Amino acid sequence: MRVDIEDCIERSCPYCVASGAISVNADADAPTPSEHLAGSMRALETLQFDNRFVRSLPGDPNQERHSREVRNALYSRVQPSPVSAPRLLAWSEPLAAELGIQRPRADDDAAVQILAGNALAAGMQPYAARYGGHQFGSWAGQLGDGRAITLGELEGRDGQRVELQLKGAGPTAYSRRSDGRAVLRSSLREFLCSEAMHHLGVPTTRALSLVSTGDQVVRDMLYDGNARAEPGAIVTRVAPSFLRFGNFEILAAHGEHELMRQLLDSLINDQHPELAPARAEVHGIWFETLCRRTALMIAHWMRVGFVHGVMNTDNMSVLGLTIDYGPYGWLEGFDPDWTPNTTDAGQHRYAFGRQPQIALWNLSRLAGALMPLIDRETLEAGLDAYRVEYDRLHRAFYAGKLGIAAIADADDERLLGDLLGLLGEVETDYTIFFRRLAQVPMTASSDDEAQLLEPLDAAFYTAEGRQPEQRARLLDWLLRYRRRLAAGGLDEAARRARMDAHNPKYVPRNYLAQLAIDAAEQGDTSVLERLLQVLQRPYEDQPEHEDLAARRPEWARHRVGCSALSCSS
C-alpha cells in the first residue's frame, strides 16, 4: 500500500504499467491476484488488529466524547457510535483481495456490524487524531478527526501495514459543532473516487466498503439555510497512515516540540524504514521525500483533470496521498480557473490551475512548523526539490498525453501552451479531447480537413467549437503537431498506444456520481456497481460502456452535485 516514487517509476504503479514506463512479464496461465488469494480470504471479524500508533505515542487521558481543546497528545480514544440498521452498499473487491478480507455474505454478518461502528474486532483500539491546519490561507487552530475514527492496523497480503478508518462513525473530541456523521451522497462520492483514482494510477487513500446506517442525518448542502434530512452512511477508508500536515502544525503552534519529534520519528520508522541508516540527516531526507511525493501526486491530478476542491493543510497527506474527498470535481470544459467548491467561488484559491502552487504553499507551512527539528537550509532544499520534481513530472506526463518522447524545447512548450489556450477559448472537454487526439490520423497523406477534425468533435460542448474560425485555428495546430510527431519517429500504432496509456477514457465525473447517488438513495446500487467495474479499467476501450465516457449532459450543467458542491458534499 505504500507509494514510493521509486515504485511508481520502476515497479508496480498501475499508471506506469499502463503507460509503458515499466513492463510486466506475466504468465498468461498464472492465476490473477484475486484467484490466488481466494482460498486464503478471511472474515473481517476473525482478524487480529494491532495499533502501534496508540501503543507507542501519547494520547489524551480524557476519554469523554464532548468537543474540547486537547493539549500534549496526538489522539483521543473514542468508540464509534452505534447505528440502527446497517446495510452493505458497496465493496472494493480489489482492495479486499490485497488485505485478505472476504466480502460479508449478508447485512447481518458480524463484519457489517464492524464496518458500521456497531462492533469491534480483536485488537482494535479506536481513536480520533488531533491536528490543526490552514484553511483557505488562514490558520484555523485545532481541527482534528471530527467524524473519522481509526479502528486499528492490519497487515495486508503484501506485508504492508494499513490503517482502517470509519468516516461518519459519530462524534469525537474534535467534532466541534458537528454530529460526527456523514450522509450517503458524500460517502458514496468518496468511496467511488478514491477507488477510481487508484486504478488511474494516482497516489491515494483507498476505500474498502460503503455502509448505509438506516439513520437520517440533517445537512445544509450549500450552507444556504435549506437543511434537510438525508440518509446516513459510513465509508471505510484504508491507508498506510492518515497523518496530515496539520498533525505537525498543531504541535508547533502550541510549542509541543518534543512531541513533534516523537511523532516524526514514529512516522519515519513505520513508513520509511529505508531511511533508518541515515539517522543524522533523517528528518531532512524525509521532508525532501515528502516534497517529491507531493509533486508526483499533483502532477497526476493535472494529468487526469482532477480538482481536489479544498486543499487545506489538514487535507494534505504526509505520504503524498490524495486524502479527504469532499467537494472535488473533474475538468469537463477545460478551465484552469475552475473550482467545484462553492465555498471557494469568490477566491478560486483551489482552482485546477492553482493546485501546483497551493501544494508548494502548503509544504511551506509544514516547513515552518518543522523548523524546531530541521534547519532552514534543508527545508528550503526540500521545497526546491518539489519545484524541480513537479516541473519534470508535469513535462513527462504532458509529453505522454501528446504522444511525444519529451517536452524537449521552447517549440514543444509553445505547442502545448497553444493547445491549452485553444481548449480554454471554447468549452472543450479535457478528458475527451486528449483521448480523441490519439484517433486523429497523423500520417503525411492525411490532408483531408474533415478527417483530421472529425474525431475531436465529440469534445466540444457548444457549436462554437465547430465554427470556421475556431476549426481553422485548431487545424493549424494539428498540422504543427503532425510535424512534431514526424520528427519523433513513432509510428501511428505506437503513438496511439502511448497516448491511450496516459489519457484515461473513463473518469468518475460528478454527474455520473450523482446518478449513482440518486439510485442508491432509492435502494438501487446497480449504477454504482457498474461504475466501479468500468473504472477499474479506465484506460481501456469498453464499447458496451461507451455512454460512461460521454461529455457532461446539459441537464447536469447547473445541477447541485454535478457542478456546484460544498464542503458538506
Phi, psi (deg, nearest 5) at residue 381? -65, -35
Residue 390 lies in a domain: yes
Give the pLDDT band of residue 183 (cuts 50, 70, 90).
Answer: very high
Using the Cα atoms of residue 66, residue 67, residue 69 and residue 71 in order, give the sign of their dihedral.
positive
Within this chain, do residues 227 and 304 fall inside the same structural domain, yes or no? no
Q: Tell me: pLDDT of 14 over 50.
A: no
Residue 380 lies in a domain: yes
The domain of 456 spans: 427-489
Within this chain, do residues 261 and 237 fall inside the same structural domain, yes or no? no
Residue 66 lies in a domain: yes
Residue 247 lies in a domain: no
Nearest alpha-carbon partner for 400 in 533, 534, 201: 201
Q: Show which of 365, 386, 402 is a domain's final residue.
A: 402
Element (H, E) at 296: helix 282-304
Q: What is the pLDDT of residues 280-291, one digit of tens each?
A: 799 999 999 999
Q: What is the pLDDT of residue 447?
A: 67
Within this chain, do residues 54 and 192 fall inside the same structural domain, yes or no? yes
Within this chain, do residues 362 and 273 fall inside the same structural domain, yes or no? yes
Nearest alpha-carbon partner for 502 in 22, 17, 21, 19: 19
Cell for 94?
Answer: 480489489
Nearest alpha-carbon partner for 92 in 163, 203, 196: 196
Beta bridge partners of 181: 169
Within this chain, do residues 476 and 539 fall inside the same structural domain, yes or no? no
> Over pLDDT 70: what percentage of the chain?
92
Quote the CA–CA distance of 508 and 189 in Å, as a whole number.
Answer: 9
Within this chain, do residues 216 and 297 fall inside the same structural domain, yes or no? no
Residue located via cell numbers 529505508: 274
Within this chain, do residues 302 and 384 fall inside the same structural domain, yes or no? yes
Residue 431 lies in a domain: yes
What value does the mean pLDDT take over residues 213-237? 89
Q: What is the pLDDT of residue 563?
A: 78
Q: Tell me: pLDDT of 269 over 60.
A: yes
Give the pLDDT band of residue 37 (cuts 50, 70, 90).
Answer: very low
Q: What is the pLDDT of residue 176?
A: 83
Cell for 445?
Answer: 497523406
pTM: 0.93
Within this chain, do residues 170 and 274 fall inside the same structural domain, yes or no? no
Quote the CA–CA distance of 119 and 469 in Å, as a whole number.
Answer: 64
Helices (H), 118-225: 184-200
Quote the CA–CA distance of 282 and 510 in Å, as a whole number.
Answer: 41
Residue 567 lies in a domain: no
479 Cβ neighbours under 8 A, 6+ residues apart:
none
Nearest alpha-carbon partner for 195 in 213, 209, 211, 212: 209
Pick 365 or 563 by higher pLDDT. 365
Q: Tell me: pLDDT of 17 over 60.
A: no
Residue located via cell numbers 517509476: 9
Please answer whether residues 408 and 286 qualify as being in contact, where contact means their C-beta atoms are separated by less than 8 angstroms. no
What value does the mean pLDDT take over residues 16-43? 50
Q: What is the pLDDT of residues 413-429, one digit of tens each?
A: 999 999 999 999 999 99
Within this chain, do residues 224 and 266 fall inside the same structural domain, yes or no? no
Within this chain, do residues 397 and 483 fall inside the same structural domain, yes or no? no
> Over pLDDT 90: what percentage of the chain?
81
Q: Tell me: pLDDT of 498 over 70.
A: yes
Residue 541, amino acid = D
Q: Show which of 241, 266, 299 is a domain's final residue.
A: 241
Helices (H), 305-409: 355-370, 376-402
How many structural domains compose the chain?
A: 4
Cell for 131?
Answer: 491536528
Cell for 88?
Answer: 452493505
Q: Show which of 217, 241, 265 is a domain's final residue.
A: 241
Catalytic residues: 314
Q: What is the pLDDT of residues 138-156, one digit of tens each?
A: 999 999 999 999 999 999 9
Please answer whether residues 248 and 314 qualify as being in contact, where contact means their C-beta atoms are separated by less than 8 angstroms. no
Q: Would you tell me the crossing angle of helices 282-304 and 355-370 to the nearest 10 degrees?
A: 160
Q: Tell me: pLDDT of 561 over 90.
A: no
Q: What is the pLDDT of residues 513-541, one digit of tens each?
A: 999 999 999 999 999 999 999 999 999 99
139 Cβ neighbours under 8 A, 6+ residues apart:
132, 133, 253
Q: Tell me: pLDDT of 11 over 80.
A: no
Quote the CA–CA distance of 369 and 355 in Å, as a whole number.
Answer: 21
Q: What is the pLDDT of residue 27?
A: 39
Please answer whether residues 174 and 77 qualify as being in contact, where contact means their C-beta atoms are separated by less than 8 angstroms. no
Within this chain, do residues 479 and 536 fall inside the same structural domain, yes or no? no
Q: Tell me: pLDDT of 552 over 60.
A: yes
Please answer whether residues 557 and 540 qualify as being in contact, where contact means their C-beta atoms are separated by less than 8 angstroms. no
Q: What is the pLDDT of residues 450-490, one digit of tens each?
A: 889 999 999 999 888 788 899 999 999 999 999 999 888 78
Q: What is the CA radius of gyration of the chain?
A: 24
Q: Tell me: pLDDT of 397 over 70.
A: yes
Q: Tell me: pLDDT of 28 over 70.
A: no
Phi, psi (deg, nearest 5) at residue 307? -120, 115
Quote the CA–CA distance of 47 and 24 in Å, as a whole number.
Answer: 32
Within 13 Å, how many C-alpha atoms sit on residue 414's CB side? 6
Nearest alpha-carbon partner for 235 in 199, 197, 181, 198: 181
* SS3 label, residue 208: strand
Please answer whether residues 275 and 268 qualify as being in contact, where contact means their C-beta atoms are separated by less than 8 angstroms. yes
Residue 540 lies in a domain: yes
Nearest alpha-carbon partner for 503 in 542, 467, 553, 539: 539
Q: Which residues of 433-490 form beta strands (DSSP E)?
A: none
Nearest alpha-carbon partner for 316 in 263, 370, 355: 355
Q: Tell me: pLDDT of 24 over 70.
A: no
Residue 96 lies in a domain: yes
Quote the CA–CA distance of 359 and 316 in Å, as a whole number.
Answer: 8
Please answer whether residues 294 and 166 qualify as being in contact, where contact means their C-beta atoms are separated by less than 8 angstroms. no
Quote the CA–CA distance of 469 and 479 in Å, as a whole number.
Answer: 16
Q: What is the pLDDT of residues 45-59, one digit of tens each?
A: 999 999 999 999 999
Give the pLDDT band of residue 446 (cuts 50, 70, 90).
Answer: low
Give the pLDDT band of residue 6 (cuts 50, 70, 90).
Answer: very low
Burial degree of 152 (CB within 10 A; 0-12, 13-18, 19+): buried
Helices (H), 234-278: 245-253, 257-271
Within this chain, do residues 37 and 186 fall inside the same structural domain, yes or no? yes
